[in-house]
Structure 1
């Protein structure tokens, strides 16, 4: 599964508590209030954790690097 910079940008634009999740073979950004309805989704990264890694206004390079790191982590899990 490949995480893209666009996925991470969407997560950063989402509200507090949002998460990038993997569910049924697809990545999705879920708002905090939607998480209970998606039980069983695998959290890839939470918005606050991503902000700690890249800051509030990351450049394209930072987002590309984080996307590659997260993609590798997913591949390592075998998802």
Structure 2
């Protein structure tokens, strides 16, 4: 499963409480209001955690680096 900079940018723009999740072999950005309907989804990263890693207005290089790190973490889990 490959996380992209676009996935992370969408997460940063999704608002407080949003998460990037993996569900049924796909990645999706879910706003906080949608999370209860997706209980089985695995959280890849929460928006606030990502902002802590990259800041409020990261450039594409920083997002690419974080996407690579998250993709590696997912791969380590065997997903």
In structure 1, the residue matched to 2:25 is 25
RMSD of aligned C-alpha atoms?
0.3
Gaps of 5+ in 2: none
In structure 1, the residue matched to 2:74 is 74
In structure 1, the residue matched to 2:46 is 46
Gaps of 5+ in 1: none
Instruction: Show structure 1 runs of 4+ deviating over 3 A.
Output: none
Q: CA deviation at 1:66?
A: 0.1
Q: CA deviation at 1:20?
A: 0.1
In structure 2, the residue matched to 1:10 is 10
Q: TM-score, normalised by structure 2?
A: 0.99
C-alpha separation between the residues in 1 aligned to 2:46 and 2:76?
A: 19
Deviations 1:24-57 (A, max 9, x none): 0000000001000001100000000000000000
- Count of residue pairs brought into register by the alignment: 79
